[in-house]
Structure 1
């Protein structure tokens, strides 16, 4: 019978290749999905902050536009009061009279642009020399200019400064606070602070030589240093250079092991034609990078696990195919053996009648019974799942006597002896065929693996049935009950006998114990009452 197995190694390679392709495809799809979601979320956040900021800045600029002349009038009043010899604190008190908040603060800067007097004591000594270019236009004229509002890091609100020169080369300034927008500004700051992926959010308002920044991410109140002021001006100029002719630009950058995505948007002010608003938002990409790394690791382990599973499945499938082919071979052999076995049996019986019982007849009879036992095993395996055997109460002692008598011829031919020692009788409830298979396979196994010239003992005591034989030590007691497994491969046999015994014991909940010591192998079966 020519059995051709499929080339499982080729199928294994193809399936692993297909699985690799599917894993890679899934990885790239998921990666693109993560990237797209990350990009979309950032885009939504960017324009949400931009819209909120733009709405706030528009309101601030509208307020500035409506208050510009009012601030100038207050500035002129303050100059008059200063000429009358009033100090800055008194001027502040007069300016803020009838106002809900102390909106005005007063500053006097010397010709080196250092604050020498102020209604805010802590501002005295502040150096604004970096803004010399902006102050130069006030020299030798009486112009009063009110600057576009900027964000005060000291008071955490929007402030406009009005500036004019004094006769002695000094400069006079008023600051006007837009207190009505504090709550709206806080709302934007809270939104940004409650969004973990936003690392930084700053907006700049750019008008001619003026660059003011609006820090919408909460920063502790502090007095802005000259270095911070210089950095603000440089940063604003640098950002304009980065944008060039573009109104929007974004790029990724790594700073101190932090993965960042930086986005810029330049927008014309709806209030002033010569003013532009530059939005800058820095997104923290570390979580996104971790998600991509996690996806890579998961994809790698999924592939390894999948490839391993495919490999193991094919290994198991190959074993299943081999077992299946063996089972088919057995089924085929049963039909092939039945007829010649019957013919041989009839001819042996005729020979005994004609010539009597001699040593040749015994040898042929022993070989025939061995073959019959194998045939019965194969038939049982082929039919056990198809036939429901009748359960009856069996006289175990009598059944053992019959089987010992049957196997005595086989044992004699192989120079062994079989003895039955029954201390009592026992009546198990099971099918006769299954009992015969249990007993026959134990006797057959004992004959096959026992020493030549030894005696095989079958002992029945209470509900315990034991088979004793003298032979080579059993190295793997559990393994010998597996299908197609044989302890000694040099000894003939199909490796089915003890597997059949194991199945029968499991069916009837019989306990099996195998002992191998002092050259005596014992198979013990504890039967149910």
Structure 2
């Protein structure tokens, strides 16, 4: 058998689809990699920007602290001196005059006064929100300052409720166990803090915290919280470790990343460029939900495209196998036609010569009928294989005349099969079609009607205007649609190539001929409705 030389269309599509899936897969990998790299780079830029802004804030705070420290100590001494001179109970003293004097040059006021009892609980203050607040946690610091005979002034601290920075002075009130504290508010730095908060919110950062860790162990925490949703807050609290525990984690490396569902927290520690012998620990939590949603969407799109591609490959693989099978069948049929053509011509010629010499008898009639059947099969194969390569002349034909000629041709075959063909026709009508293709429709339908009809039955041919109906009595057709498929045979025991009705259907499509098939247990009818033309 010849090797198939022509590349099938499905093979080309098969290759294109494989190439398409490869390009899609590579594109997905590269796009995802690029998204991750860009996202990481963007995060690095944001982290660096935050670090720069926080260092600028700390620098401004330290500068303000350096300028105001002596003033705070001076103001503290003035209050102490007043308390000593008045000889009154500081817990019952009206602090308003002192408050107004301290803030005489500030609008809004910057200073507040706090006085504790012996248990270090604030009992008298100009900042009423802190009444009852205990300062026992700072007793060691108070005692240290008393031992050194100094008025202590803390570095700026962030007050969570007001989100403002304060410095606190402290000392014992002479001859008592009570503590006097003054607080000073850094208004300008508080404005810088709010600008950083706005930047964090704009960048989609859930929370950013910096811990200023001094050499003496003191930790000053600055928390730039920008998200107050309860669920997120709970997750953040789990991620936020105590500064000392985080430092322990970072002993051998400068950076650590912790992922918790859609939240990513970056920890890193740097030496403070502002304070000597101090480190600044950063904890920055990003909301990654939008980014991971984009990655998930990209993955879903890729999977859907891949799924369609795989389905397409499976379909094309099936189609390709079918095309190869059909190609082999066509090669076989071409070879069979080539092998049959010469002996059929020789047999036909010799039979005609013998009939002329000896005359027609019962045996020569049988041979003639057999040759007619072979000729019909040969013509069917020839038409099927050459239909797409040949152009047939379209002309005006008498439907009745052509049908009667073909019925006359088939009557001898029908007689040899002990069957009959009858024709019923009304007014003669004309149609526009090539004679070869019209003959093929009639011959293939009559051939099938004879082949699949009951023994000793009658095939009925009816012509009414431009309608042709051919009926027979036989086995019911189970699938009236598949019988028009190429190489399909519902009853393989009857023989044939499965091409007859396929050819009829192709011709019908070409000339817009309507085909109607009605099959029951008693009768099967094929009707063809042609476009009518005037007979002139």
**TM-score tier after normalising by the smaller chain length:** 0.7 to 0.9
1:265 aligns with 2:268: yes
In 2, the alpha carbon distance for the partners of 1:390 and 1:3 equals: 34
Residues 405 and 339 of structure 1, relative CA distance in 2, 3 Å threshold: same
Residues 234 and 328 of structure 1, relative CA distance in 2, 3 Å threshold: closer
Residue 405 of structure 1: how far off its partner (Å):
0.8
In 1, the alpha carbon distance for the partners of 2:97 and 2:217 equals: 33
The one of 195, 200, 214 equivalent to 1:187 is: 195
Residue 312 of structure 1: how far off its partner (Å):
2.3
In 1, the alpha carbon distance for the partners of 2:18 and 2:509 equals: 42
Q: In structure 2, what is the equivalent of residue 404 of structure 1? A: 407
- Over residues 68-87 of structure 1, what are the superposed CA-to-partner deviations in whole Å (9 max), with x where a residue is unaligned? 22222222223223334463
Residues 390 and 203 of structure 1, relative CA distance in 2, 3 Å threshold: same
Specify every segment of 5 or more residues in structure 2 that has no aligned partner in the other structure, as ranges. Answer: 6-14, 87-92, 229-237
Q: In structure 2, what is the equivalent of residue 8 of structure 1? A: none
Specify every segment of 5 or more residues in structure 1 that has no aligned partner in the other structure, as ranges. Answer: 6-13, 221-230
Residue 455 of structure 1: how far off its partner (Å):
0.7
- Aligned pair count? 505
Q: In structure 2, what is the equivalent of residue 497 of structure 1? A: 500
Residues 274 and 111 of structure 1, relative CA distance in 2, 3 Å threshold: farther
8 A Cα contact 1:139 1:169, kept in partner: no
Of 81-90 and 22-31, deviating more is 22-31
Residue 410 of structure 1: how far off its partner (Å):
1.4
Q: In structure 2, what is the equivalent of residue 11 of structure 1? A: none
Of 398-407 and 99-108, deviating more is 99-108
1:527 aligns with 2:530: yes
Q: Give the TM-score of the pair, scaled to structure 1.
A: 0.87
- Give 3-state SS (helix, strand or coil) of 1:401's partner: helix
Residue 42 of structure 1: how far off its partner (Å):
2.5
In 2, the alpha carbon distance for the partners of 1:399 and 1:162 equals: 122
- Over residues 212-243 of structure 1, what are the superposed CA-to-partner deviations in whole Å (9 max), with x where a residue is unaligned? 211212378xxxxxxxxxx9x98233233232
The one of 84, 90, 94 equivalent to 2:97 is: 90
In 2, the alpha carbon distance for the partners of 1:265 and 1:112 equals: 39
Q: In structure 1, what is the equivalent of residue 233 of structure 2? A: none
In 2, the alpha carbon distance for the partners of 1:140 and 1:216 equals: 36
8 A Cα contact 1:421 1:458, kept in partner: yes
- Give 3-state SS (helix, strand or coil) of 1:50's partner: helix
In 2, the alpha carbon distance for the partners of 1:113 and 1:219 equals: 34
- Give 3-state SS (helix, strand or coil) of 1:216's partner: strand
The one of 372, 394, 399 equivalent to 2:397 is: 394
In 2, the alpha carbon distance for the partners of 1:436 and 1:475 equals: 27
CA RMSD, Structure 1 to Structure 2 (Å):
3.0
1:166 aligns with 2:167: no
- Over residues 11-70 of structure 1, what are the superposed CA-to-partner deviations in whole Å (9 max), with x where a residue is unaligned? xxx999999999987776565445434433322222222222222222222222222222
Q: In structure 2, what is the equivalent of residue 359 of structure 1? A: 362
8 A Cα contact 2:4 2:327, kept in partner: no
The one of 207, 210, 222 equivalent to 1:203 is: 210
Residues 358 and 424 of structure 1, relative CA distance in 2, 3 Å threshold: same
Task: Spell out the pairing of 1:406-421 with structure 2 (5 A cutoff).
Answer: 406-421=409-424
Of 420-429 and 295-304, deviating more is 295-304
In 1, the alpha carbon distance for the partners of 2:471 and 2:162 equals: 101
Q: Give the TM-score of the pair, scaled to structure 2.
A: 0.86
